Structure 1
């Protein structure tokens, strides 16, 4: 299957409303191939991203995806399959309606676990981020950690597939670490985290 055989449809190609799901449908290749081959970008007054559901097909055998714009205006959606643009790409939807706040949309995200405040050096520390009450999902979770001078932390984000994520970090030294946790470029409540890491931490 090459890019010329991929069909993209759905109301989100032409229009949408800030804060609401703008739905797209993708067809023309098996789901596994679409998952491997599709790359997308949504540019405009604010960058957005297309969230896919590769776990299930809709009634027509298509894969659905959507994006959630935050600001009104003219957008450009570029869709490539195996590096080549699909027919009709780039699409230029017009988003109309009042702007919404990304911070408000993700205000129900919560953080659980002592390791979000206290960590142990040279050990794997773990806490949980709960995004399950965020509807709709407006973007993927991005985590970045910065350590004190001459220290860093290995970071791993595990998707539990139920709206929650495990954050595992292993600091290379003691001191204060700062962790940015964002969705759609907006900090979740409590971010940036200030984490005090010591070499001795009782369990």
Structure 2
């Protein structure tokens, strides 16, 4: 239910798509919330100009998620990952998107 305890500090994020990506190509990373309790996972990936990348969250039903996104322009992006509205460890972080 809505009052289930959760702990955003126990969310683990990993994968190459958190550090680098290529414009127009799909980036991917994993978010593991299996030990963090039940809450909503929200992810924003925004360029310096404020242009958001399209982000898709695939929920595997066991607390793990595969995140795919498509950055349209090269440059520095900010990745913001929140769980239940709380920032998870090491985020927001910077992501470098290379030209296609």
Aligned residues: 92
Task: Return structure 1 stretches of 4+ with deviation > 6 angstroms.
Answer: none
Other-structure match for 2:74: 72
SS at match of 1:63: strand
* Maintained 8 Å contact 2:41/2:82: yes
Structural mapping, 1:15-164, within 5 Å: 15-29=20-34, 33=38, 36-44=39-47, 45=49, 46-54=51-59, 56=60, 62-98=64-100
Whether contact under 8 Å (1:48, 1:68) holds in the other structure is yes
Computed over aligned residues only, the root mean square deviation of the Cα atoms, in angstroms, reads: 2.2
Larger Rg: 1
Residue segments in structure 1 that go unaligned for 5+ positions in a row: 99-203
> Match for residue 5 of structure 1?
10
- Point out which structure has higher relative CO (alpha carbons under 8 A, 6+ apart): 2
Unaligned 5+ residue runs, structure 2? 1-5
The two structures have a TM-score, normalised by structure 2, of: 0.80
- Choose between structure 1 and 2: higher strand proportion: 2
